[in-house]
Chain A
Amino acid sequence: MSLVEFENVRKEYIMGEVTINAVDGIDFNIEEGEFAVVVGTSGAGKTTVLNILGGMDSATSGTIRVGDKNITSLSDKELINYRRYDIGFVFQFYNLIPNLTAKENIELATQICENPMDTEKALSAVGLSERANNFPAQLSGGEQQRVSIARALAKRPKLLLCDEPTGALDYNTGRSILKLLQDTCREEKMTVVLITHNSAITPMADRIIRMKSGKVIENRVNENPKNVEEIEW
């Protein structure tokens, strides 16, 4: 059984008299431990998919199953718990709390979990043990993103969702982040769903989901995923 299953999921935004179908009845599934990349141009609906999958937004219709939970039927409170225990989120703009140090930002996540990873371990996993006591403003973009990833990982989520994690980073930093994510996926057997508009990074994925105008136009398993080092864009 797949870890994530989308079944005819639809999301409509009503803007006055116009109804926009951001997500227009999509179906796909992601297996456990896969590194999945959702790729598409701006406005293809990939962020909406991520929001719905992350429990931050709800679908207008359709069913989404994550593990044994049908998240479309969860109550507000259950959704909070879902986010709390099942999902790790990596934001495009890192969204670190500026007033907390790197370590504290991670602890912010771990303090609400049932079985969190050790903070030090999470930090060393992203190679930032030495910057533990720095404030976000004192870190570079890549470092901030690493902290953000560490924060997500520290929760030991079932699903790691990444929203354009390299979008605000330069090429090399972006690569190192992608490498970190791929390594995490492989070493920790973590299921990662990554959203990007950049098709160039699809070869590294185990599964590629291509979207266009709110529809999934391709959902294939990459039999030979490449290491990040091997790809260029």
Chain B
Amino acid sequence: MSKALLKNTLREIKNTKARFISIMMIIALGVGFFVGVKCTNPSMVNMAENYYSESNLMDFRLVSSVGFDKDDVEAVKNLDGVSDVMPSYYADVSINTGASSSVVRLMGVPYDYKDSETINKLVLISGRFPEREGEILLEGNTTPSNSPKELGEKIVIEEKIGDTYAKDSIKRLEFTVVGFVQSPMYISFGRGTTNVGNGKIASYAFIPNEDFVSERYTEVYVRLQKSKDSLSPFSDEYKDLKKEFEEKIEDISDKRLDVFVEENINSAQRELDENKEKFESEKEKAQKELDDAKEELENGENEYNTQIADAQKLIQDGEEKIRQGEIEYQNGKEQYENARAEFEKEFAAYKEKLDSNRKAFEEAKAKFENEQKPALLAGIEELENGIYSLGFGTLQGIEYSIPDGFEEVKEYIRQKESEISVENSLSILLDVKDFLHTDFGDTFDATIDDSATKISELNISLGELKETLSSAQTELDNNEQALISAEQEYETQKAEYTATLEASKEQLEQAEIELESGKSELENSKAEFEKAKSEGKEKLDSGRKEYEEAKADADKEFEKAEKELNDAQKKLDDFSSPKWYIFNRDDNPSYSSFIDDANRVDAVATVFPLFFLLVAMLVTLTTMTRLIEEKRTEIGTFKALGYSNARIVGKFLTYSTFAAVFGSVFGCLLGIPILPKVIYNAYKMMYYMQDIRIKISWPVLIIGVVCAIVCCTFVTAFVCFKSLREKPSELMRPKVPKIGKRIILEKIPFIWNRLSFTSKVTQRNLFRYKSRFFMTAIGIAGCTALIVAGFGIKDAITDIVDIQFGEINKYDIMIVSEGDEKGDFSPLMSTLDKDDRIKDKMLYMQKNITVSSEKAKMTDDVFLCVPDDEKNMDELVSLREREIHKKLYVEDGCAIVSEKLAKILSVKVGDSITLDGTNDKKITVGGICENYIYGYIYITKNTYKDLFEKDVEYNMVLVNVHNLTQDDENNIGFDYLQRDDVKALSFMSTGVKDFQDMIQSMNLIVLVLIVCAGALAIVVLYNLTNINLAERSREIATIKVLGFNHRETASFVYRENIILTVIGTLLGLVLGVWLSRFIVVTVEIDKVMFGRTMHFMSFVYATIGTFLFSAFVNFIMYFRMKKIDMVESLKSVE
């Protein structure tokens, strides 16, 4: 370049200082920001490298389930490439820190620590290293915040942590603080997790190796030679090395573990097996005895029961019988009474009849005796007399008639006459007849016959009379007889009946007696039965009791023995599949997150500078276009003078290159020292590392600068060549001004006619200078977007705390408890029930878990939560969807997963996840809940049972308190921590504070963004207004000549700026939402999800901010405008 041209260029720069500076500044901003932020990552990495190397950070940490012995350590040490090994001890214990107890990891430190070159070099902050047993070094950064310890103070370790006795691993429980150290193992807030206490390690401490009980080392740190020889831990080579050694160590572990198993496990297992066998046989024996006893008892019981039943039956029968007897007796008695009554009645009637018969008979008899009989007897006598007399008379008559001579006949007749009687008179007559026949022949027949006939007739009458008498007599007799027999009959019957009645009566009486005796007999037997029954029962009960006692004793004994055996077996099992665990630096969450953070900064660094570079190009474009337009004549002149195009372009290229170079240098000078520090300081609040040493990343710097220069040059060349295509003569003439154009708005006269001229000009200008329109709008939009993003990030983080601890995890206190010694929570719950201060409470299980989906796996800071009462958990833990705040409820068979975790696992509702320890059982995601800090999976207790095949073991109670003050916290803490069934108390207010501290650090980043935004806005607006003024200086001069005052002139120019600012701001608000989304998602770490809502006020702030920056620029430009010389208007058009 000729001297003249160079001079010309320099003069040009001098003349257009403002323009040159604005190009320079925008480039400085872009390059400075890009290079500055891009240097942050290497600086942080470099610092980490230095820190690792200076602290001699271990490459591997080996932990064995069975510990290490000297040979193990030696074996690792002898590996080729291992430079150092340091065996050590660790144990997690619990230290009471006032309100709650926290878990502290104790690690071993040798006495000769200072003199030996140790891995993980501790930085002694104050005090000294332990020199004898019982001395302790505490971590220097944060001892549990609420109880800062002093040198010389005593630390008391709690006897038990969970089920483990502290004394199992360390020899003493009291230590004296002798110093404070910082361990390179812990560079962030995270202290890792443990399987005891509340599961979270709160801090670490060091005690002499000699204070540990175990002879076997619990951990071994390994340092590799190559790594020690300053191989970067972030290089691929280191990764390969790591892999190689992991394999090597695994090989060794296999060998060493075989030895261990051979030496220790097998014999122990045999012994245990023997013991087990013995136990089993003894148990069996005892069990058999018990069973026998039980059987006997049961037999006795059965017998007793049968007997009782029989006896009862008998008694019942007897009672029944008695009852029957009584009824029968009563019936009999009644019958008897009836019979008797009837009998008496009947017999009375009978007797009456008999008596009347007798009377009638007596009357008839008397009548017969007195009247009829004598008459009859008289008749008879008469008749007999007649007969006799007839006979006698006949005979006499014959005698007499017989002649005497017949003295024999006569004698005979006389004899006959003596013999004659009434009865035989006939027969004698007949005899006599017969007799006489002989002698007398029939002489006397007729007389005799006649007499005989007469006698016969008399006889008949007599007979008749006699008959009548005798029949009457007989009748009477018969009647009498009948009467008598009737009387007799009556008597007999009466006697008979009476006898029967008597017999019945007797029988009844007998029955009554029998009944009574039966009754009393029953009573006796009843009493006897009751007695026997209760006696039997007593006997049985005592027998059972005896048996129960014996059984309980035996069971207890068995349980104890079994537990002992199981414990022994478990211990042995732990040992018998022993494993070495190899941890590398990536397994330390602090280290991996530090590098993640550094990479995140890098990601942000890529977006912003692109944005700045874009704006820088636009600024350069408009500025150079303007410059070249102004220099048309000059270009034409140079062309006419014969300068080549290249040389002419050269001038402008030099101009812009100068701007780019100076801008880049300026930007680098400011950006590199400032930005990494600001950003690192923000992170430093979370990591305990040294101050950053800035490492300039030359490739980045070169890329930034080259990009800036190339862009600038390219834009300049582009504009130049456009002009150079014109002929010199055309160039010498003023450029044809752009034709004024009507705009759409003019078609609406209603609006257009109401606009003032300045507005009309403004409207037309806006559409006339499109590049300026876009550039300003983009520049201002960028500014607004940056401010929105800044506040957006702040909102995002602030929301976390407010929503997480105010709307999601609503509980105030987490009481860590596993119930009393039996695992029973009811004593604790009932105490809480009675406590007036407690509002809500719920049993809860929360534990660290590893969860995986088909696509990803997540281990750290993921918690499985099982509420006791999932339906009423809302007061304590509220699950809802983020955007629409729809309440979610945990249901059986599915899990609710927190949002960020779901995103990491890339699962949606309906997909399935697998929890570690469930034999790969899948569970469906039933809902995705709003959550910001850590990852949570919520399932019901039934689901838990299904998945893990065991009941939930609750480990905490969540509690809400009425109006929690600091005093309440202390009181509640004090009250509950005294209980044996409360392990720890964690107050949410503490968690909130921790996070608020962390968030403070983000405010700085917000400030950086706002400052950048401001710088961007000012540069862009200044540049544009400047160009606008330059382009329109003629116009402005003219209207000034026309007599416009300053205000009117200013509004003529500013209206455009104001409209552009408004448009740009609106655009920026939209862009800002995207930008802050992007940044939030990029900056987010795995365990935290930032808020996604932007606060309305953020938009307001961004708008106000942008307007203020714009106003500031306009204010400055006002003076420039005032200075525009009216004489300009007289000049010819360039």
Contact = CB atoms under 8 A, between A and B. Distances in A.
Interface string B1095-1134: 0000000000000000000000000000000110110110
B1037 to A, nearest CB: 8
Interface string A121-154: 0000000000000011110000000000001000
A209 B1037 CA distance: 27
Interface string A61-88: 0000000000000000100111111010
A84 B757 contact: no
Contacts of A99: 740, 760-761, 764-765, 768
A111 B1043 CA distance: 11
B759 to A, nearest CB: 11
B1126 A93 contact: no
A57 interface: yes
Contacts of A151: 1042
B493 interface: no
A151 B1041 CA distance: 12
Q: DSSP majority for the B interface?
A: helix
Contact of B1130 (A83, A92, A107): A92
B1126 A95 contact: no
Interface string B1021-1049: 00000000000001101111111111010
Interface string B62-103: 000000000000000000000000000000000000000000
A206 interface: no
Nearest to A167: B1132
A108 interface: yes
Given A84-B1043, A112-B1043, A136-B740, A91 B757 contact: no
Contacts of B1034: 95
B1043 A83 contact: yes
A136 B764 CA distance: 14
B744 interface: no
A135 B1132 contact: no
A163 B736 CA distance: 22
Contacts of A137: 736-740
Given A99-B761, A99-B764, A112-B1048, A163 B1130 contact: yes
A137 B1044 CA distance: 24
B757 A108 contact: yes
Nearest to A138: B739
Looking at A54, A57, A91, A163, the one whose CB has the most chain B CB atoms below 10 A away is: A91
A54 B1042 CA distance: 10
A175 to B, nearest CB: 22
Given A100-B757, A137-B740, A56 B1127 contact: yes
Interface in B730-755: 736-741
Interface in A97-131: 97-101, 104, 107-109, 111-112
B677 to A, nearest CB: 48
A51 interface: yes
A80 B739 contact: no
Contacts, number: 95
Given A47-B1130, A56-B1127, A107-B757, A87 B1043 contact: yes
A89 interface: yes
A197 to B, nearest CB: 14
Nearest to A107: B757
B1127 A83 contact: no
A230 B1129 CA distance: 32
A27 to B, nearest CB: 24
B760 A100 contact: yes
B1127 to A, nearest CB: 6
B1045 A97 contact: no
Interface residues of A, number: 36
B1052 to A, nearest CB: 9
Given A56-B1127, A98-B740, A85 B1132 contact: no
Nearest to A157: B1043
Contacts of A77: 1045
B737 to A, nearest CB: 5
Nearest to B763: A99
Given A99-B765, A112-B1043, A56 B739 contact: no
A81 B1043 contact: yes
A138 B740 CA distance: 9
A15 to B, nearest CB: 15
Contacts of B1043: 80-85, 87, 112, 155
Contacts of A93: 1132-1133
Looking at A98, A104, A155, A163, the one whose CB has the most chain B CB atoms below 10 A away is: A98
A112 B1049 CA distance: 12
A100 B761 contact: yes
B1039 A57 contact: no
A214 B596 CA distance: 78
B826 to A, nearest CB: 87
B1093 to A, nearest CB: 45
A91 B1130 contact: yes
A97 B1041 contact: no
Nearest to B1035: A97
B760 A51 contact: no
B1044 A112 contact: yes
A84 B738 CA distance: 29
A74 to B, nearest CB: 13
A56 B1044 contact: no
Contacts of A57: 1126-1127
B1042 A112 contact: yes
B270 to A, nearest CB: 105
B739 A135 contact: yes
Given A56-B1126, A97-B1035, A99-B761, A89 B740 contact: no
A137 B741 CA distance: 10
A91 B764 contact: no
A95 B1129 contact: yes
B757 A104 contact: yes
A129 B1133 CA distance: 27
B738 A104 contact: no
A56 B760 contact: no
A222 B704 CA distance: 73
A112 B1045 CA distance: 10
Nearest to B758: A108
B1047 to A, nearest CB: 10
A98 B1130 contact: no
B26 to A, nearest CB: 28
Given A57-B1127, A100-B760, A83 B738 contact: no
A47 B741 CA distance: 34
Looking at B740, B768, B1045, the one whose CB has the most chain A CB atoms below 10 A away is: B740
Contacts of A84: 1042-1045
A222 to B, nearest CB: 26
A101 B1039 CA distance: 15
A100 B1129 contact: no
A144 to B, nearest CB: 11
Contacts of A101: 740
B1039 A108 contact: yes
B1039 A98 contact: no
A83 B1041 contact: yes
The 6 closest A-B pairs by CB, nearest first: A84-B1043, A135-B740, A83-B1043, A56-B1126, A95-B1038, A99-B764
7 contacts: A84-B1043, A92-B1132, A104-B757, A107-B757, A112-B1043, A135-B740, A155-B1043
Interface of B: 736-741, 756-757, 760-761, 764-765, 768, 1034-1035, 1037-1046, 1048, 1126-1127, 1129-1130, 1132-1133
Given A97-B761, A100-B761, 20 more contacts: A54-B1041, A56-B1041, A83-B1043, A84-B1043, A85-B1043, A89-B1041, A91-B1038, A91-B1041, A92-B1132, A93-B1133, A95-B1035, A95-B1037, A95-B1129, A98-B737, A98-B738, A98-B740, A100-B740, A108-B1039, A112-B1042, A137-B736
Interface of A: 47, 51, 54, 56-57, 77, 80-85, 87, 89, 91-93, 95, 97-101, 104, 107-109, 111-112, 135-138, 151, 155, 163
